[in-house]
Every structure is written in C-alpha cells, then in structure tokens.
Chains A and B, each alone.
Chain A
C-alpha cells in the first residue's frame, strides 16, 4: 500500500459517501444516472469475486464489502425506495448502457491476462469501470444545472482513478517487475473521460458559479 493508492481509495469512498448523503439528505436522486450506478454494481460484483477465496488484507476485504454493499444499496434505493425513485430522471437517463456491457465484455474475452473466468471477469470489470461514468455525464449535460453534491460526487469519482495512476507510476518505479497494463491503460482512458468535466468543474469553482456542462 502507498499513499497514492490510499488517497485513491479514500477519495473513492468519499464519492460514495457524498452520493449516499445526497440521496439521504434530499430524499432525491435527481441528476443521478441509475444506469451508471448499475454499471458500478456490476463492476464491483465482477471484480471482487475473489472476496471469499483470496484474502489480501482486512482493509482489502472491508473495502470490497463496502463497495459492493453501497453500490447495490444505491441501485435498490433508486429502483425501489418509494420516495427516492419518484425523483429519478428516467426520461433523461437514456444512454444505451447495454452496449457498454457487451463491448467491454467482448474486449475482456480478447484482452486479458489469462483466459480464465476470473481473469476475464476482472478485465471486464476494469474496462467497464472506465466507461461506466458515461451515462452520468450525458445525464448531467441534459439536465443543465448540476446540484453541488452531484458535482462533488462526479469530481471525487474522477479524482480517485487519477490517484491510482500516481500509484501505478510509484509502484512501477519502486517494484522490480510491476506491470499492470490492463489496469493502467484503462485507468488513463477512464481519467481522460472526465477531462472536460474537470475543466468545467474548475471553471465553476474559479468563477464561484453554478456548474454547467454545455449540451
């Protein structure tokens, strides 16, 4: 574990806490893409299959349980909670995310570290995570003004993988044969997808104005 990876995991945890806070405090999920939340639940389920078979550390196990439980709880909340589900922007959240699932799964069949179910699902979860934010970014562009908590949620979500890139650079420099091409390349693409959001988020912060993404 290094400071970059710890910062990344804590930022990721913070993004989930901000999202839970937004939904719990406002009893609303307006501006949140259910499709992105479903993709994240799939990412964690596909990636943490080794939860019960490979023990890495107490920290690793606890974080995996927290990520799986929170992502499923958010999907449940947006689909079934009587009060919250009414505020879901169903007509705005129209990104065809099944193409993202299919495309990344095929890519994982072709590009993986080993042709085993667990490795294919791990690569699938890495590729899917890279594009999972797309329905959310599209929804933000369509819904015009973005409420603060939603903006912070997306910002921390993008920032966490940027910390992981620093972690991979650090591990590459300090560990003799450290190479994680699938995670590294996918992580760079993932962080790149947030580039325009980061730009508009910075502008809104500098001008102290409401975050607005151009349609």
Chain B
C-alpha cells in the first residue's frame, strides 16, 4: 500500500 508521510517534524 501507499507509504505514510515521514514523521520528521516534532
């Protein structure tokens, strides 16, 4: 499936 957005923010 589609990948989720990278959690690079706090």
Residues of A within 8 A of B (CB): 5, 9, 12, 50, 54, 56, 60, 63-64, 67, 113-114, 116, 119, 122, 164, 167, 179-180, 183
The DSSP consensus for interface residues of chain A is: helix
Contacts of A50 in B (CB 8 A): 7
Contact with A113, one of B4, B8, B9, B10 (Cβ below 8 angstroms): B4
B10 engages A119 (CB within 8 Å): no
Given contacts A67-B10, A114-B4, A116-B4, 12 further A-B contacts (CB under 8 A): A9-B10, A12-B10, A54-B7, A56-B7, A60-B10, A63-B10, A64-B10, A113-B5, A119-B4, A164-B9, A179-B5, A180-B9
In the bound complex, what is the Cα–Cα distance between A183 and B9 (angstroms)? 10
A-B contact count (CB 8 A): 27
Lowest 7 A-B CB distances belong to which pairs? A113-B4, A114-B4, A119-B4, A56-B8, A63-B10, A180-B5, A9-B10
Contacts of A63 in B (CB 8 A): 10
B8 engages A60 (CB within 8 Å): yes
Contacts of A164 in B (CB 8 A): 9
Measured CB to CB, the closest approach of chain B to A22, in angstroms, equals: 23
Contacts of B5 in A (CB 8 A): 113, 179-180
Contacts of A122 in B (CB 8 A): 7
